[in-house]
Amino acid sequence: MTALVALDRLEAFCQGALAAAGADEPTATAASRAMLHGSRLGVDSHGVRLLDHYVRVIEGGRVNGRPTLRFREGFGALAVLEADHAHGALAAYRAMDHATDLASRHGIGAVAIRDSSHFGPAGAYALAAAHRGQIGLAVCNSDAFVRLHDGASRFHGTNPIAAAAPSGGEDPWLFDMATSAVPYNRVQLNRSLGRPMPEGVASDAAGIDTTEAAAVEMLAPLGHAFAFKGAGLAGLVEILSAVLTGMRASFDILPMAGPDLSTPRRMGAFVLAIRPEAVIPRDEFEAGMRHYLAALRASPTREGARVLAPGDREWAEARRRATEGVPLDPATEAAFAALARRFGLATPF
């Protein structure tokens, strides 16, 4: 039976485990905040299931649990964050805070992040800008698992793109996508459940499409027959995250799962913030967002279907989980129990 755990108990457990592993308070807080974003909104692949991995990479030395982050200025609205191999969530939150500060002064702000690590749910950092009344964008490349269109080997990572915008008193518009046809977590889930994969989303070692989850060696780019579009979007993320920052391209990044958990992965990322008032009065922007979203949700649908704005499903799930708790799959529950025993912590369930 799947355990349901209150958000505050999960947050306290995550922070306690990370601190016990050697993370300083800013790192433990940022990593927990990002994981809870995923678990609260129903993005469980990037939620608290990542805790055990984060503990292992901090203990192993891949991630610096006590980094010294430093901004390099000099180009007006664009800055560089030297992240000192910090946890990706700490680097991304700090970068977005700085980008929104820059946007408050210049109308737009951007931060290129160097020497970071896995940052979890990209939407968490775009949303941080929306909560400050700005439009946010966050991207990060990752280790290669996605073939090119008509390719037969791993080339890009799942390379997420996330954007968020304030909506004038409503839940923010929130868009968070991988540029692969499906997330890798779908492969893991289908393997464990013995289910086939959908047609055209994954390939075997020769790059041939397969529906057998056990045979999957790479994912297809987003777009099926038009997957050159997904591959192009992944390339945009690659340029902003790796080429612009001088960090490693997806095909050069050490695999997330190891076996080497001691060598820093030298990952890059990029965040952007726009202050709407630099272009249009705030009340006009908010009225425009409300008008756009109302029209979108009222748009005619196919029989038995419903139109949702980006983020609608996630906000509904967040309200449900705030009351009922967050479900933990058996593997995550077992990992939490092991962490509790090792660090002398009370389990959250």
Q: How far apart are CA 309 and CA 22, in angstroms?
A: 40
Residue 14's pLDDT is: 98
160 within a domain of the structure (yes/no): yes
Q: How far apart are CA 327 and CA 2, in angstroms?
A: 6
201 within a domain of the structure (yes/no): no
**Residue reference for tokens 């950092």:** 125
192 within a domain of the structure (yes/no): no
Residue 3's pLDDT is: 81
For residue 126, give the CATH number of its domain: 3.30.1370.60
Q: Which helix (H) or strand (E) holds 257?
A: none
Residue 83's pLDDT is: 98
* Stated pTM of the model: 0.95
164 within a domain of the structure (yes/no): yes
- Segment-wise mean pLDDT, segments of 10 residues, the chain, 349 residues: 88 98 98 98 93 98 98 94 98 98 98 97 98 98 96 96 94 97 81 87 93 95 94 98 98 96 98 98 97 96 95 98 94 95 97
The answer to whether residues 73 and 81 touch, using CB atoms and an 8 Å cutoff, is no
The answer to whether residues 125 and 93 touch, using CB atoms and an 8 Å cutoff, is yes
Residue 232's pLDDT is: 98
- Specify the DSSP class assigned to residue 182: S
Q: Which domain holds residue 163?
A: 3-181+220-280+315-343
Residue 32's pLDDT is: 98
250 within a domain of the structure (yes/no): yes
115 within a domain of the structure (yes/no): yes
For the chain, the domain total comes to 1
| Burial of 312 per CB tally in 10 Å (0-12, 13-18, 19+) | middle
| 266 CB-near residues (< 8 Å, 6+ apart) | 85, 115, 247, 248, 253
168 within a domain of the structure (yes/no): yes
Q: Which helix (H) or strand (E) holds 115?
A: strand 108-116
The tens digit of pLDDT for each residue in 157-201 reads 999 999 999 998 889 999 999 999 988 877 877 887 789 999 999
One DSSP character per residue, 213-248 reads: GGG--EEPBTTGGGTHHHHHHHHHHHIIIIITTT--
59 within a domain of the structure (yes/no): yes
The answer to whether residues 22 and 55 touch, using CB atoms and an 8 Å cutoff, is no
